Structure 1
Amino acid sequence: MSKKNNYLVPLLIIGVIFFIMGFITWVNGTLISFFKKAFTLDNTSSYLVTFAFFISYTLMAVPSSLVLKKTGFKNGMSLALLVMAAGTIIFIPAAEMASYPLFLAGLFTIGIGLTVLQTASNPYVTILGPRDSAAQRISFMGIANKTAGVISQLIFGKLLLAGAESADPKDELNKVVMPYVVMTVVLIILALVIRMSKGLVEVSEEEEETPSVSTLVPVTKTSVFQFPNLVLGVIAIFCYVGVEVIAGDTIINYGISLGFPENEARLFGTYTLYGMMFGYVLGAALIPKYVSQQAYLKFCAVLGLLVTLTALFTSGFTSVVCIAILGFANSVIWPALWPLALSGLGKFTKVASALLVMGISGGAVVPLLYGGIADAIGSTQKAYWIMIPLYVFILYFGLVGHKKKSW
């Protein structure tokens, strides 16, 4: 059996994991609008959904790397799914008690599981094959992730935001109970399947690259912080996840604030995800045969800047569509950043991956800042200015940052 075929089964299993991650992550956009109405929240308070969900990445990323050192990739993924199941089941008492803080606790717990899962799965896909095609493999994972996101937003949009609204807030909150019971069961089953699977092989990050001019020098380094491409990559990940979550999770509220009916605005989040899916498909087809992952990264950053400016200076549905197009602009930034940031890390790969996962906290901080700005200035549109400096830094990393080998 060829080495390529040896990769197939593990990649298919990881693809299922990315599907599950996408389904659970991208429902947040719907939950933000749902909780905002059910608990009568302002913009800032409603974006505590993303804060609670993503802040766990900062708090748990390094502990996650320690867990993976003990368990390995495979057992770590199984454990992560069980932790996520513990988070989803918290939604049941949260609905019964009509407690927004308890919902946030559930989201935080889910985020802890996802932190371990991200710390394990992304480097696994990067290492499991040639470095120059890593973005292509992660693009396929992204397609699975965003397909699940579209499905979850369609399902939860229909369940939570469409149809008759109950006068009793508790009745409204009970709408989340059955979907989260189902998700809990699925997560437990998948955890057991992963644990018993013989298809997922352990890979050694120490052997993930053949020594070359670029990898001979780092061998003498004693700390991950001696790798500028990693440190700058963590900041770039922070910026990227911030703009990605804003594009996906604020668009429904943005549409509602512009006067679109809730039944129509609930679909806007899927537009962003369709854009991301198209970008991933294009990236998988073009990288690395026709365009390098570095070149695609720079293109995406420039497009993000231009589309954000257009969203700021247009109005109505045109502006909404621009926010959705950011899904396409953001699509290949994630899969391109990971291999560039991990290049030459060798034995430091797991710790470096944990630091990169900490950068996902951009999804906690940036949307909350967006909500605060929107409340302060009274404009959900002008608050999108926050994305401009973030895209500028991503562009800097694509042009210069990833090439730095020493400080």
Structure 2
Amino acid sequence: MNTAVSTSKPNRSTVMPMVIIGVLFFIFGFVTWLNGSLIPFLKIVCELNEFQALFVTFAFYIAYTVMAFPMSFILNKTGYKNGMAIGLGIMVVGSLAFIPAAQSANYAIFLIALFILGAGLTILQTASNPYLVKIGPEESAAMRISIMGIINKTAGVVVPAVFTVLILADMGDVSEQAVAAMAEEQRQATITELSNKLVVPYIYMAIALAFLIALVKFSSLPELDLESEASDSDEKGSVFAFPQVVLGAIALFAYVGVEVIAGDTIGLYGSGLGVANFAALTSYTMMFMVFGYIIGVTCIPRFISQQQALIGSAIAGSLCIVGVVFGSQTSTAIADVLWGWTGISVVPDSVTFVALMGLAHALVWPSVWPLALDGMGKFTSQASALLIMGISGGAILPLVFGKVAHVMNDTQVAYWVGLPCYLFILFYALKGHKMKSWK
């Protein structure tokens, strides 16, 4: 497949586009994985149960489903570069919406703000992922996306720690159990103070996003030239005629669902088990994802293909689900071996397997994109939008998880929700991505 980006020519460097996209991927991670730390605090501030609290992920990720195709049309009209600036501007509005949300402690306004952030991210994701696929050889696309994954998940490691410091400074013990045990007057005062402190991280985010608008707008980031790309797209009239794209979107739906479950419920699960550092547990999942991306950078395509990486991810993820459900809620034996010697706080085995899900499925996103976009040509932006809609798995599957946990009164059992997700990813790796027609 011929690359169709002006930067793919030998006399043009791809370094600057990679740097700019790298900055954007850090922002993706910062905004996305802030939710994992936000959920336990909103649960306290807005007095929610597990099912209600996970509407945070629903509001954020459902924006990808609602806005993906409209954003692809915006990209076609404005170009990828201007579209990215528009996306960042939308995110500034979403960040600032957290000010009235926090001051009123109104859960509905929080959800609206999260939806606006998700809408801005939709156009950024729709634009940036095709760049990574198209600016170099197809067989190494997963390696390039893995580099961005490291940046993205590094933000996921840093954010919970920074968020916790900003929120919990001078607050004392604000765990769900501690707040519930307070006298009513003290409890209300603590909730009000906690709510107001949620403003600060999003003000910083709005400032950073405004700076990035200028960076993207005045950068030398080239436009994608996909109309001239050699492909099979001329023979088909719709993006839905490409099974590898439609099934790829379903695979990403399953993947993002389990990714969000692993990253955003680990704090809730740990809190329920009385783990002391529950607010920072998202960092554990993100750190393991970083290790997974490092494997992708060093091993694809030198030692393993993108298809082999996808197969391995699906199998490892399935094994982690079994480990979570049947793992001990008291023993820390696995964590003691893996990182106990570093001085980092250890967690029960069952929680450790939730974190290890990050390592297991890290290479799903980098592997699916190049396999799904192969030969899409003029349909690339629409195919990208369809794949981005798969991110809605992060909205729906955590709610399914939360409902199961609430009905069964057992968060550990709810992790079974992830098993069929990994099994579909395995199907896509073995057969789905090879399907060029529905017949």
Q: Give yes or no for TM over 0.5.
A: yes
- 1:366 and 1:5 mapped to 2: Cα distance? 43
Q: Output the amino acid matched with 1:310.
A: G
Q: Does 1:331 align with 2:331?
A: no
Aligned mate of 2:259, from 244, 250, 270 = 244
1:345-356 alignment, distance < 5 Å: 345-356=376-387
Normalising by the residue count of structure 1, what TM-score does the alignment of the two structures yield?
0.95
| Structure 1 residue 97: Cα displacement | 1.4
- Report if the CA contact (8 A) 1:127-1:205 is conserved: no
What secondary structure is seen at the aligned counterpart in 2 of 1:396?
Answer: helix
Tell me what 1:39 maps to.
46
**Inter-partner Cα distance in structure 1 for 2:124 and 2:11:** 24
- 2:101·2:110 contact (CA, 8 Å) conserved in 1? yes
SS of aligned partner of 1:229: helix
Q: 1:59 aligns with which of 63, 66, 78?
A: 66
On the 8 A contact 2:156/2:282 being kept in 1, the answer is no
Letter in 1 for 2:296: G
Partner of 1:153: 160
The correspondence for 1:27, drawn from 18, 25, 34, is: 34
Is 1:377 aligned to residue 408 of structure 2?
Answer: yes
Q: Which runs of 5+ in 1 are unaligned?
A: none
Q: Secondary structure at the match of 2:323?
A: helix
Question: Residues 324 and 227 (structure 1 numbering): CA distance in 2 closer, same or farther, change over 3 Å?
Answer: same
Q: Per the alignment, do residues 4 and 145 of structure 1 end up closer, same or farther by CA in structure 2, a change over 3 Å counting?
A: farther
Q: Distance in 1 between matches of 2:122 and 2:81?
A: 14
Asked if structure 2 preserves the Cα contact closer than 8 Å seen for 1:235 and 1:359, the reply is yes
2:401 corresponds to which letter in structure 1? Answer: Y
Correspondent of 1:103 among 100, 105, 110:
110
Instruction: Give how far 1:335 is off.
Output: 0.6
Instruction: Output the amino acid matched with 1:403.
Output: K
- Identify which of 379, 403, 406 aligns with 2:434: 403
TM-superposed CA distance for 1:157, in Å, is: 2.2
Q: Distance in 1 between matches of 2:63 and 2:106?
A: 20
Which residue of structure 2 lines up, in the alignment, with residue 320 of structure 1?
351
Q: How far apart, CA to CA, are the structure 1 residues paired with 2:402 and 2:377?
A: 40
What is the aligned length?
398
Alignment pair present for 1:223 and 2:230: no
Where does residue 344 of structure 2 map in the other structure?
none
Q: Distance in 1 between matches of 2:362 and 2:405?
A: 25
2:141 matched to 1:134?
yes
389-398 vs 153-162, greater mean Cα deviation: 153-162
Q: 1:85, 1:319 → 2: CA distance? A: 38
1:105-146 superposed Cα distances (whole Å, 9 cap, x missing partner): 100000000000000001111111111111011001111101
1:221 and 1:231 map into 2 onto residues whose CA distance is 14
Q: Which amino acid aligns with 2:207?
A: V
| Partner amino acid, structure 2, of 1:357 | I
Q: Are the equivalent residues in 2 in contact too, given 1:140–1:280 (CA < 8 A)?
A: yes
State whether residues 149 and 290 of structure 2, in contact with CA within 8 Å, keep that contact through their aligned partners in structure 1.
yes
Matches within 5 A, 1:229-308: 229-261=244-276, 264-308=277-321
Amino acid at match of 1:295: Q
- The one-letter code matched in structure 2 to 1:181 is I
SS at the partner of 1:203? Answer: coil
Distance 1:242 1:206 in 2: 33
Partner of residue 144, structure 1: 151
Q: 2:203 aligns with which of 181, 189, 202?
A: 181
Q: Secondary structure at the match of 2:223?
A: coil
Q: Structure 2-normalised TM-score? A: 0.88
**CA drift at 1:160:** 3.0
Output one character per residue of 1:328-364: Cα deviation in whole Å (capped at 9) or x when no partner.
Answer: 0111100101111111111100001001111100000
Equivalent position amino acid for 1:331 in 2: A
Identity %: 49
Counterpart position of 1:340:
371
Q: Which amino acid aligns with 2:307?
A: Q
Worse overlay, 172-181 or 114-123: 172-181
Alpha-carbon distance in 2 for matches of 1:29, 1:159:
15
Deviates more, 1:170-179 or 1:291-300: 170-179
C-alpha change, 1:37 and 1:191, in structure 2 (3 Å) is same
Tell me if the contact between 2:166 and 2:201 (Cα under 8 Å) persists in the aligned partners.
no
1:161 CA displacement: 5.1
Whole-Å separation in 1 of the counterparts to 2:363 and 2:11: 23
Q: Cα deviations across residues 255-308 of structure 1 (Å, max 9, x unaligned)?
A: 1112223xx122221110000001101101111111101100100100000111
1:190 paired residue number: 212
Query: Offset at 1:206?
Result: 3.1
TM-superposed deviation, 1:203:
1.6
